[in-house]
């Protein structure tokens, strides 16, 4: 994580002015439970550590661990709610936030974390998810039905152009809802949602993709037959890692893929019961029941022309 030296210096000054060394150590342990400043500095616990040295070393360690923005988000909460029963005034916070904004990150008060400014960059983890930490995420899995048949029937040029169209439809639907493509294989992929009512957002994205493909097949499709996709939405706790191969082995992701491949018909969307339990009633009213195993049933959505 690249943090400008000016931002590190400003945050060090703010922490030095706000807390004594003992409070700083407790703060560091909020982010790294076994953090030992004395061990990190290589000194005995009886030694007196100057405030600025303590603040600079803690902040530098958090930068190295990829936790700098988490540290600042904790400082924001401390200034508002206090820490360990004591109130603290964090000086220079407006200047710190301004410099963080210049780095392309904005504060999300609902989740109390810093995330990428989508106008500046879009990465898989929103610039917020930490390696080895479990997060509750909603996933949308999309796959082209009968892909092998289409690849044999049409030229590479037509297939590539068609699948490029499909990706654009997906991106247009998920970008407005702050979704992120975690994996894309040409004929489909996996999208993750983290913020706000993530189950609603993933569901709305799936519905929009189905609707837009319905229009696409009537007006713009390059094939002499409809392009059909299967979409599934599921949610749950996922252990985040930057290793995509390991990430795809997560149980929630594997279940999402199974729902798509096993229970979803072409040109339709299937929602797990986990997702359905969190949807707005207006969304649920437009869905059909899809029996799975008694007493479990999923919900489905599709578009058809009236006869």
pLDDT tens for the 307 residues of the chain, in order: 689 999 999 999 999 999 999 999 999 999 998 999 999 999 998 899 999 999 999 999 999 998 999 999 999 999 999 999 999 999 999 999 999 999 999 998 878 889 998 888 889 999 889 889 999 999 999 999 999 999 999 999 999 999 999 999 999 999 999 999 999 998 999 999 998 889 999 999 999 999 999 999 999 999 999 999 999 999 999 999 999 999 999 999 999 999 999 999 999 999 999 999 999 888 888 888 877 775 677 999 998 765 4
| pTM for the full predicted model | 0.84
Residues 68 and 210 occupy one common structural domain: no
- For residue 287, what are the domain limits? 134-302
Residues 155 and 280 occupy one common structural domain: yes
Domain boundary among 116, 149, 170: 116
Total tally of structural domains belonging to the chain? 2
Residues 140 and 244 occupy one common structural domain: yes
Domain boundary among 116, 144, 166: 116
In a domain, 122, yes or no: no
| Partners of 297 in beta bridges | 291
In a domain, 307, yes or no: no
In a domain, 123, yes or no: no
Residues 266 and 182 occupy one common structural domain: yes
**What is the C-alpha to C-alpha distance for residues 183 and 290, in angstroms, rounded to an integer?**
27
**What is the C-alpha to C-alpha distance for residues 257 and 233, in angstroms, rounded to an integer?**
9
Which CATH number covers residue 239? 3.30.70.1230
Residues 108 and 142 occupy one common structural domain: no
Count of all residues that appear for the chain in the document:
307
| Partners of 184 in beta bridges | 189
Residues 72 and 166 occupy one common structural domain: no
Written in H, E and C, the secondary structure of 236-258 is: EEEECCCCHHHHCCCHHHHHHHH
Closest CA to 269 of 296, 234, 235: 234
């Amino acid at each position: 994580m690249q943090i400008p030296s000016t931002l590190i210096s400003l945050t060090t000054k703010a922490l030095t002015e706000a807390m004594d060394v003992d409070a700083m150590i407790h703060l560091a342990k909020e982010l790294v439970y076994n953090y030992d400043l004395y061990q990190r500095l290589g000194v005995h616990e009886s030694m007196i550590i100057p405030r600025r040295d303590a603040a600079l070393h803690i902040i530098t360690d958090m930068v190295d661990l990829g936790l700098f923005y988490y540290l600042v988000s904790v400082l924001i909460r401390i200034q508002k709610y206090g820490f360990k029963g004591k109130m603290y005034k964090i000086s220079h916070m407006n200047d710190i936030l301004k410099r963080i904004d210049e780095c392309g990150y904005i504060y999300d008060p609902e989740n109390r974390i810093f995330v990428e400014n989508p106008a500046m960059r879009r990465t898989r983890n929103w610039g917020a998810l930490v390696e080895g930490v479990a997060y509750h995420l909603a996933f949308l899995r999309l796959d082209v039905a009968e892909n092998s048949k289409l690849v044999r029937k049409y030229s590479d040029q037509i297939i590539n152009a068609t699948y490029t169209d499909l990706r654009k439809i997906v991106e247009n639907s998920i970008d407005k809802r702050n979704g992120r493509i975690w994996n894309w294989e040409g004929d489909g992929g996996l999208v993750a949602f983290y913020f706000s009512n993530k189950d609603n957002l993933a569901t709305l994205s799936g519905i929009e993709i189905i609707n837009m493909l319905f229009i696409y097949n009537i007006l713009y499709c390059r094939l002499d037959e409809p392009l059909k996709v299967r979409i599934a939405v599921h949610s749950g706790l996922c252990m985040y890692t930057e290793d995509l191969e390991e990430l795809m082995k997560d149980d929630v992701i594997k279940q999402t893929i199974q729902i798509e491949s096993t229970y979803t018909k072409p040109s339709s969307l299937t929602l797990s019961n986990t997702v359905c339990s969190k949807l707005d009633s207006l969304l649920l009213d437009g869905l059909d029941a899809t029996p799975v195993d008694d007493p479990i049933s999923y919900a489905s959505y599709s578009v058809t022309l009236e006869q």
